[in-house]
Amino acid sequence: MPLLPKLPDGRVDAKSLTLAELQAAMAELEKGSGRALRAYKHIWQRGATRFADMGGIDKASRRWMDERFGIPTLEPATVLHSRDGTRKFVWRLHDGHHIESVLIPDPGNEVSRPRLTLCMSSQVGCAMACTFCLTGDLGLTRNLTPSEIADQALQVSRTLGPEERITNLVFMGMGEPLHNLTHLIRALDILLDEHALNYSHRKVTVSTVGLVPQMQKLAAASPVNLAVSLNATTDAQRRQIMPITRRYSLDALMEGCRAFPLPHAKRITFEYVMMDGFNCSMDDAERLVQLMRGVRSKVNLIPYNENPNRDILRPSDARVKAFQHHLVSNGISTSIRTTRGTDISAACGQLGKAAQGLRIPEAASV
């Protein structure tokens, strides 16, 4: 068994363990496997924070568990409500740092069902330093533990009304998920486990700036969906905005995508942030068509979300539509992401304001 994650008080972090790990860690207790399963369900399906409060487990066993294991819980700092229904959850961690999760409603239409998507964080800050992303300004403070990752879904779900349920999870919040791969994989195991949060792998997407070796390791460890933050069509262009390109060229990234094992009916999503005058010419559109050759893909166009901390401008709607039309005309499945939550700094590339100590709009907080 790997080294068990510990809490500041020295106890084992039970919430960072998969069911198999919790069962093994409790093997010292007679009939520990059954007790571990009951405890695991109490933690993830009932939100228990103490073993002492768990029914169906004898008192002596609960006391033994509480002495050796802790059940940490994210502390809510504030919740911001957007005019469009988006909610941003700011969490205070045990060491005083903050992370953010964003809950995005989509009412659906005649061809798609309503969705409630949770955008989750994997790190405090981010080391990738993409120039268009505010989170990159923070640098990397530390990785989130598996508990801190998976608990975002549990704690947000406990705030929902009786008719609401999170339908999709996307790792597109603070941090580069594959830069915290070991903890991410353990958190994914928890999120997908039928005895824990029981999400379908078809409804979970992990985004990356293009850590090519880690992409293959993710595929080997978990069946979740992959999204690649592309944002440029040449190496020279991509190096200007995404420093990771100096380590993994565009050719290396695309080769990694072609080699990525995709089950039937799955595709890699390529996220393309459109910045006016930089990467949204028709030449860019044609180069993007060529890059997609040989990859089972779909492209998600993201018109840049303007903010006062950047001089980058959003392209016109006409430019975005023309770009999309060229891709679709060449057989590339393409969508345009609807901008959500800009009034609470919850849109793509805007997370981290709470962690930066910037003022949170009081009128939106509860």
Domains of the chain: 13-70 (1.10.150), 75-364 (3.20.20.70)
**Per-residue pLDDT at 362:** 39
The yes-or-no answer on residue 100 being catalytic is yes
User: What digits encode the pLDDT tens for the residues 146-180?
Assistant: 999 999 999 999 999 998 999 999 999 999 999 99
Look up 257 and say whether it is catalytic. Answer: no
At 315 the three-state DSSP class reads coil
Predicted TM-score of the model (pTM): 0.93
Where in 36-122 does DSSP place strands (E)?
69-70, 75-81, 87-92, 98-106, 115-119
Q: Return the pLDDT at 342.
A: 78
Mean per-residue pLDDT, 107-129: 89
Asked if the model's pLDDT at residue 358 lies above 70, the reply is no
Instruction: Flag whether pLDDT at 112 surpasses 80.
Output: no
pLDDT given for residue 359 in this prediction: 45
Give percent of the chain above pLDDT 90.
80
98-112, 185-199, 207-221: least confident range:
98-112
Tell me what pLDDT residue 353 has: 61
* Active-site choice (100, 148, 176, 271): 100
Contacts 24+ apart (CB under 8 A), 43-47: 43/14, 43/15, 43/71, 43/196, 44/150, 44/154, 44/190, 44/193, 44/195, 44/196, 44/197, 45/195, 45/196, 45/197, 47/154, 47/158
Q: Residue 208 has what pLDDT?
A: 98
Q: Residue with structure tokens 């603070």?
A: 174
Which residue did the predictor score with more confidence, 60 or 350?
60
pLDDT at 295: 96
Q: Which of 133, 163, 348, 362 is catalytic?
A: 348
pLDDT tier, 2 (very low <50, low <70, confident <90, very high otherwise)? low
Summarize the confidence of residues 257-270 as an average pLDDT. Answer: 94
Model pLDDT, residue 345: 73
pLDDT tens for 34-87 read 889 999 999 999 999 999 999 999 999 999 999 999 999 999 999 999 999 999
- Reply yes or no on whether the pLDDT at 3 is more than 80: no
Residue of 181, 173, 216 lying closest to 353 (CA atoms) = 173
Measure the CA–CA gap between 27 and 68, rounded to whole angstroms: 13
Q: How many CA atoms lie within 13 A of 190 on its CB side?
A: 28
- What integer pLDDT is reported at residue 46 of this predicted model? 96
Residues present in the chain in total: 366
Mean pLDDT of the residues in the chain: 92
Strand 140-143 versus strand 123-125 pairing type: antiparallel
358 Cβ neighbours under 8 A, 6+ residues apart: none
How many contiguous H segments (helices) and E segments (strands) does the chain have?
10, 14
Residue 29 banded pLDDT, cuts 50, 70, 90: low
